[in-house]
Amino acid sequence: MRKVYPSDINRTQFEKIRPQLESVRKSTKPRDYELYDVFCGVIFVLKGGVPWRMLPGDFPKWRSVHEYFRMWSEVPPGGGQSVLSKCLAELVIQVRERDGRAPQTSLLIVDAQSVKNTDTATEKGYDAGKRVSGIKRHLAVDTQGLPHALHVTTASVNDRSAALEMFQLRAEPLSAVTLVLGDGGYVFREFCGCRL
């Protein structure tokens, strides 16, 4: 029996995404690990910011948890969304509809955060404004704070370019957006017909 960690989600929450997660790896033999424990292991690492090798021993083996995360995060060869991105998008729609809102938002709020990463990382840049060597996370949320787009670049990429790239990658799900709010780093007038 595995210890319960603060990062764990409950079984009811997990059942909402189980079918998508199971679809990645079809197998004729039973799984070696409970998929719920694997997913909670992924969340433990991501929320805790710890290396995969530091996953506590009562979770499935760290290599297995990492392999599932890699498969769930992989973008299909022809393009599209990873399984984790699809799960997030479906949950956002469910929450919006539950709150009596349209499934797609018409307003987005964008911002970015530069984050240090290790000296050995192959993907990193330097953000001179923040004096950070690493990566930059770009996020677009609605007025409820629900994420509609996420894009990770090197820290040297400016906010405007990264936001435009993020919007292009998520053009179809963001087709209803007519207004985007951002700080001074986002100086552009129009994208896909919406005011920015």
Beta bridge partners of 6: none
Lowest mean pLDDT among 44-53, 66-75, 178-187: 178-187
- pLDDT-derived band at 196 (thresholds 50, 70, 90) equals very low
Over residues 95-115, the mean pLDDT reads 92
- pLDDT-derived band at 190 (thresholds 50, 70, 90) equals low
Share above pLDDT 90 across residues of the chain, in percent, rounded to a whole number: 47
Comparing CA positions, the residue from 73, 70, 68 lying closest to residue 84 is 73
Over residues 164-179, the mean pLDDT reads 88
Give, to the nearest 10 degrees, the angle between helix 83-98 and helix 62-73: 70
* Cα distances (Å, whole numbers) of residue 163 to 10, 90, 169, 175: 34, 22, 10, 15
Q: Each residue of 120-153: pLDDT tens digit? A: 556 778 777 778 888 888 999 999 999 999 888 8
Backbone angles phi, psi at 76, to 5 degrees: -55, 150
Write down the residue that tokens 């769930």 correspond to: 72
